[in-house]
Structure 1
């Protein structure tokens, strides 16, 4: 730009930050729309499990697509709903952050609502396009409506609104009986972990755990009162002493409890943790990132796929009208199968896919991360190791044509 144009159209964050349309609302030292765990889930290993599942589920692409009459994917529809799922769900969240928020809230609460905030038409109508969408917590259930608590970006607070069920995606956790039921494996594990935390707090509270043996028998109220006074005196000695030193009579004895009573709480926690892992289809290697390809494939098939399918199916049912579904619109999810493939095996897979005319060269270059080739043959779906059959047929047709022309004179 020229110097004059830069003066006319340039903008500086410090000089030009005087927008008269700015409306200061409530301010926070933390992000107010961020999802937070409830019922003590934030104080246990549940946080790491939920976060891992939500991250892996949000890595799967969910898009608004068009299908043919046989239900096969033909292309992506450029719509407001697809923009919410892939780019920007609202002013605060990207499409991937929105999906992670939805999965984490669903796992924590058992059921969650995906509420359209800005739409092209009234959501009470049968046909509308979603412009922005947010995750809402269901507060009350009605026969045809639900009351949800959702963040209002205009006021900066969370508000309760009543919306119709047919226009809001209500997603229930597929693992509800394992995670959210009152006496499920997850809830039992959380209660055991809370007990373990309480025991740890008691052991680390600075108590001495001492028993003083007095030189007389504690029978009668006066003897018991004397023992209480003796204990109080010793406590005052230790509290008022700079180094925590006290004294006792030569006839008194001190018995120290240097360890707590043994219990099987840790064994129960390990048992419930292993049972929870098996019921959810995850392992410790998945959480620490050392799982092999077969383990990850089983994890995506048994754990992630049911969650993503529930979200995509509910969006297809609520956000696409019957007319739109008849016209070939749908909600599909796609997982990149090359994410778990080592580099040493990728060349062999690319050779098989291109040689069997399943993928073109540019499609494989895109999976590797390289820019497409400008060669037109790189977009052709054919075996590059063989000569092109179209070129051979065209040359044969030309030879037959010239021979017929010569015979006909």
Structure 2
């Protein structure tokens, strides 16, 4: 049936003319900034640790985490289309994508030391008892109990951060594997934070605009009258400096002024540099990783020593808390996948494609998808075979027969019965 102008107008909607959503009279409380955004504490947001935490969290969030099904040998078989997999990869909640949820999780773990991944919207099938997780949030742990935890979680219905107590069995508690290095009160990172805050205090004092002058008067200041006279003289010089356009004041010829706003030598900067290098070495980070000039060997060492323990801690807890014993017995699991081609330069892509296809590890179409090309329609592009070896007559005949059967089946579907 053809669509006329009247039916199109009935279904039309414009964002500027139809502003109010149907059935919604008020929006609730509003904010000038995003209220559910993760914010660092303990003064971390004022130091260089913000850049380090952000880099580690971004690299950890780039690793894919899937709810999968394993075969009888414990190998990856297929990805399970479940609520858990959707939250981790597509939509974590109404405000965050799956990757944003993972970034929020890892950044909070590095900052807090231990956080909880809380299933917020959960749907339970009354017939089968299957539980489907529809949305998740990262919650800060406020108090620990033997079987429960007190959490601070953002409520996307009220727009407020609220506290609630949940059993430990219902939430995934992820602890920072580098807790002893980053979150302990006397750890290297915490000592570095205190030194950096102390440097900020010294810098504020040096840049406060004070002159730090000592005025030597031509008389002894011991009696109360002389002290009052000295205070009046100091106030007079302050008034001259404050009221002068260029900050110029005059004094008597018998008075001497000594300026003390010289920087004092201390070991604070050397201590900060020492602690920074120690923190880098303990976390497996180099300056080249931070500025993006690290080679593939350094990046591989960084991913194996820093990123992998962090992601593995989250994956193990997700598998333990959100998969039942029956699901694990049926071969379900949670795995993480790292793209091995991400660090490969363009000059190595052709060589890698030849080795992977020649050794029958990947098909041509699988490698074409990695480099962003559409799959080929050739049936041989989906077969694991070495293209450099001549095929036997039996293989060629079998491939030709398969192509003929495929063409016949496609033609039969197009016949008008």
SS of the residue 2:131 aligns to = coil
2: CA distance, partners of 1:390 / 1:116? 58
* Alignment equivalent of 1:284, drawn from 275, 283, 287: 287
* Alignment equivalent of 2:248, drawn from 220, 239, 245: 245
Q: Taking structure 2 as the reference length, what is the TM-score of the superposition?
A: 0.91
User: What is the CA-CA distance between 1:246 and the residue it aligns to?
Assistant: 1.4
**Aligned residue in 2 for 1:268:** 271
1: CA distance, partners of 2:373 / 2:383? 17
| CA deviation profile, 1:17-54 (whole Å, cap 9, x unmatched) | 23342242110000000000111110000110010001
1:127–1:321 CA contact under 8 A, matched in 2: no
Pair 1:129 & 2:132 matched: yes
| CA deviation profile, 1:131-185 (whole Å, cap 9, x unmatched) | 1101011111111111111111111111111111011000011100111100111
**Aligned residue in 1 for 2:383:** 380
Number of equivalences: 393
**Aligned residue in 2 for 1:61:** 64
**Aligned residue in 1 for 2:230:** 227
User: What is the CA-CA distance between 1:293 and the residue it aligns to?
Assistant: 0.4
**Aligned residue in 2 for 1:351:** 354
Structure 2 gaps of 5+ residues are 399-417
Pair 1:141 & 2:144 matched: yes
**Aligned residue in 2 for 1:406:** none
| CA deviation profile, 1:261-314 (whole Å, cap 9, x unmatched) | 111111100000000000000011101111110010000000000000000000
**Aligned residue in 2 for 1:115:** 118
Q: Taking structure 1 as the reference length, what is the TM-score of the superposition?
A: 0.92
2: CA distance, partners of 1:127 / 1:317? 16
Pair 1:103 & 2:127 matched: no
SS of the residue 1:148 aligns to = strand
* Alignment equivalent of 1:294, drawn from 289, 294, 297: 297
2: CA distance, partners of 1:228 / 1:68? 88
The Cα RMSD (Å) is 1.8
SS of the residue 1:120 aligns to = strand
User: What is the CA-CA distance between 1:383 and the residue it aligns to?
Assistant: 0.3
* Alignment equivalent of 1:168, drawn from 161, 167, 171: 171
**Aligned residue in 2 for 1:3:** 5
2: CA distance, partners of 1:270 / 1:21? 59
| CA deviation profile, 1:183-202 (whole Å, cap 9, x unmatched) | 11111101111111111111
2: CA distance, partners of 1:74 / 1:18? 47
**Aligned residue in 2 for 1:12:** 14
2: CA distance, partners of 1:291 / 1:333? 24
1:138–1:148 CA contact under 8 A, matched in 2: yes
Of 182-191 and 15-24, deviating more is: 15-24
